[in-house]
Amino acid sequence: MTATQPGSGFRTSTKATSAQKRAPWILLAPFLALFVLTFIIPIISALFQSFTTVDREGLFGEDGVTGRFAGFDNYVTALNDAGFVGSIWRMLLFGIVQVPVMIVLCTILALLLESASARWPGFFRAVYFMPYGVPGVIATILWSFLYVPGLSPIVSLLQSMGLQPDFLGANSVLWSIANIVTWTYTGYNMLIIVAQLKSIPGEVYEAAKMDGANAFQVAWRIQIPLIAPALVLTTVFSIIGTLQLFAEPQILSTVAPAIDTEYTPNYAAYTNAFAFNEYGVASAQAVIIALAAFILSFAFLALTNRPPKDDRDRRARAKRDGLEARRALQGRAPARPVVTTQAAPGLQTAPGLQNGTKGADA
């Protein structure tokens, strides 16, 4: 880490002094200490535990308890548990529906707030963001009062209209949870997108106006392509968040009999660890959840980070042409250079996206 010199710097040497070398470490130390203590060490400990199991002698293990290396036994147990595997599929279904709904919703809100005709954008931004300030547990308790028949004004209203809503039934409770999650996080994701929208330079809008673009075209052709990095970011966060769903179903289980203790992957791991004292299996489940989140996030990044379609076509064509040319001109130098380099598309990728996703390609 070399210190950057201001243009008018009085020092001529670019070599960092010892103080300059030390400074970043000293500044990072409080963070690093906490990060290692509360993040790295628990992860290593969980990995370690996921490969251990316990043998007991006697009715309660009173004659001896020994821990031993278990190989992949805990992983086999976890993956053979129909409830746990079912919970992962349930979360996939949840994610496939809830994440797009939320991303579309927050994008619409952000575009409305940033449109030229928006009234009191600051006020509405705060209002939309407010649910995020309510802790998840409290939000779930509040919503549960809107779901429970006999307490909920919504249920009473629908009943008076002759409907029989069942927000907590076996088939509907997943979507009741999705509603809570969407309510909580739409405002938060909206804020990320608003920040990205604000970074679009005014000249771009001006140019669009000169070209006669209407409001919808500005949104569709200018704003959405330019906020793509923010959309990718919020989607990845939402995918990870979906797999980690825990507080909402756990709290709601007190009023919804359909929610069992393996309703979500994290709930299953929590139950195994702290209700059944099966730390080995719970750690294996936690590792599996982490791997699943990892794979899904990277799959999504790889998908969104593909070169644009015309570029892909060009490459495929170039490859085909190259092969044909090689076949036709066997043993001779190719007549024309083969195009394989990626053409830089104009507005297609913003700098942030390119930086942020290069690693995913590697």
Partner 1 sequence: MTPTPSRRVMTRRNLLGLGLGTAAAGLLAGCAVPGSTNVNKAALVPAAAGGETVQLTYWGWLKDLQKVCDVWNAEHPRIQVTANWIPGGNSGGYQKMYSALAAGGGPDIGQVEFRQIPEFMLANGLVDLARYGAKDVQSRYDEAAWSQVEFVDGVYGIPQDTGPMGFYYQTAILEQAGGEPPTTWDEWRDLADKVRGTGNGNYLEVFPVADASPFAAYVQQAGARWFRTDGDSWVVDMTDDKTMMVAEFFDGVIDAKLVDTSAGAYTPGWYAAAASGKIAAVTSASWGDALIQSVQGGEGKWKVAPMQTWGDTGYGSSSIGGSTAAVLANAKHPKEALEFITWMTTSKEGVDAMIRYCGIGWSPAKDYIGKARQQPSEWFSGQDYNEDVFVPSAQEQNLDWSWSPVTQSAFTSLQNQFRRKLTGGLKLTDAVELAQQEIVRSFQDKGLSVRTAR
The site for partner 1 (CB under 8 A) is made up of: 15, 17-19, 21-22, 36, 41, 44-45, 48-49, 52-56, 58-62, 64-67, 77, 83, 144-145, 148-151, 168, 170, 253-255, 257-262, 270-271, 274-279, 281
Nearer to partner 1, 98 or 144 (CB): 144
Q: Considering Cα of 129, then 134, then 140, then 143, what sign does the dihedral take? A: negative
Measured between alpha carbons, how far is 139 from 282 in angstroms, rounded to an integer?
A: 27
Q: Report the C-alpha gap between 239 and 236 in whole angstroms.
A: 5
CB of 201 to partner 1, least distance (A): 42
Residue 97 beta carbon to partner 1: minimum distance, rounded to whole angstroms: 20
What are the two backbone dihedrals, phi and then psi, of residue 276, each rounded to the nearest 5 degrees?
-105, -5
Report in angstroms how near the CB of residue 43 gets to partner 1 at its nearest: 11
Q: C-beta of 357: minimal distance to partner 1 in Å?
A: 31
Residue 43 vs 323, nearer CB to partner 1:
43
Grouping H, G, I as helix, E, B as strand and the rest as coil, residue 339 is coil
- The whole-angstrom separation of Cα 217 and Cα 9 is 47
> Of 87 and 235, which has the nearer Cβ to partner 1?
87
Query: CB-wise, 196 or 271, nearer to partner 1?
Result: 271
Rounded Cα distance, 70 and 14, in Å: 55
Distance of alpha carbon 1 from alpha carbon 17, whole angstroms: 11
Q: Is residue 90 within 8 Å of 174, Cβ to Cβ?
A: yes
DSSP 12-31: ---SPPHHHHHHHHHHHHHH
Closer to partner 1 by CB, 58 or 331: give it: 58
* Minimum distance from residue 192 beta carbon to partner 1 (Å): 33
Task: Indicate the residue among 73 and 321 with the shorter CB distance to partner 1.
Answer: 73
Q: Closest approach of Cβ 121 to partner 1, in Å?
A: 38
